[in-house]
Amino acid sequence: MKKMTVAALLLTSLFAVTGCSSNQAIKTSDGRTIVTDGKPQVDSDTGLVSYKDAQTGKTEQINRDQITNMSELNN
């Protein structure tokens, strides 16, 4: 019984993490749209936004001043 409870808790946690990591669209001031894999991280000290590019899989950075809009995509 205890193993089933632990398994159920792990599955619930997995779905919660999956739900929180939906793709985002970053619109830039030069008209590009970047689709990210997961939510971008903002470094308030440097002003840089780090994200994993959904197309290339590479982690990249962009200056926050170059972003006009960030929104969550419906996967």
Q: How far apart are CA 31 and CA 38, in angstroms?
A: 21
The CATH number of the domain holding residue 67 is 2.30.30.100
Rg (CA), the chain: 16
Instruction: Supply 40's token pair.
Output: 């971008």
Residue 71: inside a domain: yes
CB 70 within 8 A of CB 24: yes
Q: Which domain holds residue 68?
A: 22-75
Number of structural domains in the chain: 1
DSSP string over 22-48: --EEEEETTS-EEEESS--EEETTTTE
DSSP-derived secondary structure letter, 57: -
Residue 12 has pLDDT above 50, yes or no: yes
Question: Tens of pLDDT along 19-72?
Answer: 456 899 999 999 999 999 999 999 999 999 999 999 999 999 999 999 999 999
Q: What is the pLDDT of residue 18?
A: 46
Residue 61 covered by a domain: yes
Residue 55 domain-assigned?
yes
